[in-house]
Amino acid sequence: MKVKQTFFGILAFLVFTAVSAQNNVTSTVLSEKTVVTGLKIKVNDFEKLKNFDWNEFKGMLQGRDLGQEITIEFEYENNSENDDLESEIENVAIKVTGKLSDIDELTERVKNSINTMDKMEDVNEKG
């Protein structure tokens, strides 16, 4: 839920900035459009990464230029006080960049990275 709130907060900020910028544009500009070119989420709860709603994110990008560059970035910051584990995952950033036409491949790469980290966490909990 916090991921959605963060994302919509960022989106609202971008829209507000675009509206403010339009008020300052000279009369020679015919139109201006705001384009979302990326997503960056920072969490300290690994479950939020595992349960991210990719379909909702992809839905926000529908109708955009497929040749547009886009960046997807997740940061996981471990605030755990547990020092008992030998190889506990600390802070990790996952970042992929590519064309919007490759959104399925880009999201799959991020999902695979998250799944790999999840498997590492499972091994640590069992070990």
**Would residue 6 count as lying in a domain?**
no
With respect to residue 99, please indicate whether it lies within any of the assigned structural domains: yes
Of 123 and 10, which is predicted with more confidence? 10
- Counting the structural domains of the chain, the total is 1
Q: Report whether pLDDT(82) > 70.
A: no
What pTM, to 2 d.p., does this model score?
0.61
Is residue 14 a part of any domain in this protein? no
Asked, for residue 90, whether it belongs to a domain, the answer is yes
pLDDT digits (tens, 9 = 90+) for 12-65: 656 656 555 554 444 455 556 666 788 888 888 878 888 888 888 888 888 888
Residue 94, domain extent: 36-126
Is residue 86 included in any domain, yes or no? yes
Quick check: 32 and 22 in contact, CB under 8 A? yes
112 occurs within a structural domain: yes
Rounded to whole angstroms, how far apart are CA atoms 84 and 116?
A: 21
Assess if residue 26 is contained within a domain.
no
Rounded Cα distance, 102 and 76, in Å: 24
Say if 119 falls within a structural domain: yes
